[in-house]
Chain A
Amino acid sequence: MLTAALLLPSLLTPGTEPPANAVKLNEPRVEYRDDEASATRRPWIDANGWRILRSPDRTFVYQVNGEAAALAAAEAFSYGAEALISADAPGTNAFGRMLDFLKTVPPVNLPPVADFGVVDDGSDATAELLNLLTRMNLLYKIEKNQDRHFHLNVRLGTKEFPLQEARNPSVAAQKIRSQIGDDNRSLRVYGSEVVIGRLIAGPRQARVFLLNYAPRPALGLRVRIRGAYSQGELRMPGAADAHLADWTQDGPATEFTIPELRVFAVVDLSRN
């Protein structure tokens, strides 16, 4: 998982069965819930990052059609997954375009950034929590045991995070968010509820992967990365001349705007 950006997804040849032990992933997408009685209609995202992080050594397979194949390829790439993608003809084209782009992204060797740890007991409750944490851009490291480097280690079934409470994973996720503090989060995304980011970073550079699960672009997406970076480079498929806008570096964080995020972006940040 250290060299997450080096693994490229592969297209499964039509008629070929995926390996029997491959983990099947959902089609990445967003599901709007406009019929729910709420003024703020938070959409649901079918994202697979948490599944990949939970089983990093497995092979994954997506069965996707159309443009979802491009998002699936980008998702697998972002999380460093060994992934096979089975797609229809339009999906094969979409995958091909995304793969062409992914090949242009320079490899880096940077560890994933996490703001807290989650002890994975393998339970469904923890799975749901991981899913929600990913969707909320709360960056975690999955642990077998508590890591003392983190101020916060989450283990469901403890006094701090009782199982009863975890039955509503959003309660547990908000509790974690509150304990970290938004200002201390390594990654924040403003302007979309359906963009998920992954951050890898070293002492002098960082890379953020941004996946847009919506079928329409996110316009004016604002990103905040904890850390002082002096420059950034934006790479997006089909947008060779795209640039970051409204760069600010103020105190402990760096912010920038992506004018139009379609499906996927890779932003490389560095310090002088």
Chain B
Amino acid sequence: MPGPYRGIVARVHSESVIDIATERIDQPSVDKMLSAGMKTLTGAKADKDAWSSFFSSSDVIGIKVNCSGAPVIRASPEVVSGIVRNLIGVGVKPENIYIYERFLDQLTSVHYERFVPNGVQIVAIETPPTSLLSYDPKTYVEVSFFGEDDTRSNLARLVTERFTKIINVPNAKEHQASGVTGCLKNLAYGDFSNVARSHMREKTNTLSFIGTLAAVEPLRSKCVLNIMDGIRGVWHGGPFSEEKKYRFYPKLMMFGTDPVAIDRLLLDLIEEKRKAEGAPSLWDRSPNIIDRRAHLDFHKNTFIREPGHIEYAAKNFGLGEYDKNRMKVTSVEI
């Protein structure tokens, strides 16, 4: 990261991709969005050429889904199955494709197995929760935030030992601590252990921690593609989605190798929606909006949000392009 397409985002919208009343996703529309997004990003004429510019038959690929808002808000199985189909199309063996997430209960609630061919692996890293067995003891970030005893966050062994490449598939969500949870957050907090320690009371250290984690090798190098599933979204109370009233339906997907550029656009998406709903800005740091029952009231929040984590990751780790004037966003309507 930021890969070959720094500052470049293909933004694909489809009005028909979801029926809002039933929340049913239309697979043919998803397939068209995937096709248009990948071809627009790479400039390839055919899907196979677009996908093979990133992946080959020898790859072992991790698809980092986001299931923290499951069962409703998650990397849509229709999107994930489309990705899997294209990977198999360029010769990747199903058994070398891993759909993965940190926690088993969230992952299994989505039932990806119903959408992908036999052989595709569906794996939770931290099983059971707090187990360090599937984390690499030699690859970690060590930092103390609040005087916690365990100061390490270890990277998943799948990333250090098994995958050759990663496709990052976040959702379009507000996040009570980090402002939004997009590409960077999904990668950072979804591949390392012991990350919840970065929040305590109203304070969160997501400003610096997200970029720090995302920049750790080999995670940084192996994540070669980001596909944001913004078909559904959450504009308040994230990363969870307990309240239907805080969901919305952008009906879009964003494609890029640059996680910062996509997350920069996500900031605008969530901020505009919150503005339209009369909610405080993501950037509002007033103490008077802090309330632990914020999920009941969109005027409140649990933490002081840190949407600056995206710019921080760009400036301090060179993870991508934050300046919209230097970005190239191509919008496609399906």
On A, residues with C-beta under 8 Å from B are 37-40, 42, 136-137, 170, 174, 177, 182, 189-193, 218-222, 246, 248, 255, 257, 259
Contact = CB atoms under 8 A, between A and B. Distances in A.
Contacts of B119: none
Given A191-B150, A255-B137, 16 more contacts: A174-B147, A182-B151, A190-B132, A190-B151, A190-B152, A191-B132, A191-B193, A192-B130, A192-B150, A219-B130, A219-B132, A220-B131, A220-B132, A220-B134, A221-B132, A257-B137
A246 B149 CA distance: 21
Interface in B102-156: 128, 130-135, 137-138, 144, 146-152
A189 to B, nearest CB: 7
Contacts of A42: 148-149
B131 A246 contact: no
18 contacts: A37-B201, A38-B200, A39-B199, A40-B200, A137-B149, A182-B151, A190-B150, A190-B152, A192-B130, A193-B149, A218-B130, A219-B131, A220-B134, A220-B137, A221-B132, A222-B152, A257-B132, A259-B133
Interface residues of B, number: 24
Nearest to A257: B137
B237 to A, nearest CB: 15
Contacts of B193: 191
A255 B142 CA distance: 15
Interface of B: 128, 130-135, 137-138, 144, 146-152, 193, 196-197, 199-201, 292
Contacts of B132: 190-191, 219-222, 257
B133 A246 contact: no
Contacts of B199: 39-40
- Name, among A218, A220, A222, A255, the residue most crowded by chain B CB atoms within 10 Å (CB to CB): A220
A37 B199 CA distance: 11
Contacts of B135: 220
Contacts of B148: 40, 42, 193
B137 A37 contact: no
B144 to A, nearest CB: 7
Contacts of A39: 196-197, 199-201
A219 B133 contact: yes
Q: Which has the most chain A C-beta neighbours within 10 Å: B137, B146, B152, B197?
A: B137
B130 A40 contact: no
A113 to B, nearest CB: 18
B149 A136 contact: yes
A37 B134 CA distance: 29
Contacts of B146: 40
Given A177-B147, A190-B152, A219-B131, A40 B196 contact: yes
A59 to B, nearest CB: 31
Given A170-B147, A192-B150, A37 B292 contact: yes
Nearest to A246: B137
Nearest to B134: A220
B128 A222 contact: no
Closest 9 pairs (CB-CB, A-B): A220-B132, A219-B131, A220-B133, A39-B199, A191-B132, A246-B137, A174-B147, A40-B197, A219-B133
B200 A219 contact: no
A137 B149 CA distance: 8
A136 B151 CA distance: 12
Contacts of A221: 132
B137 A222 contact: yes
A40 B138 CA distance: 24
Contacts of B150: 189-193
A246 B138 contact: yes
A81 B137 CA distance: 34
A259 B135 CA distance: 12
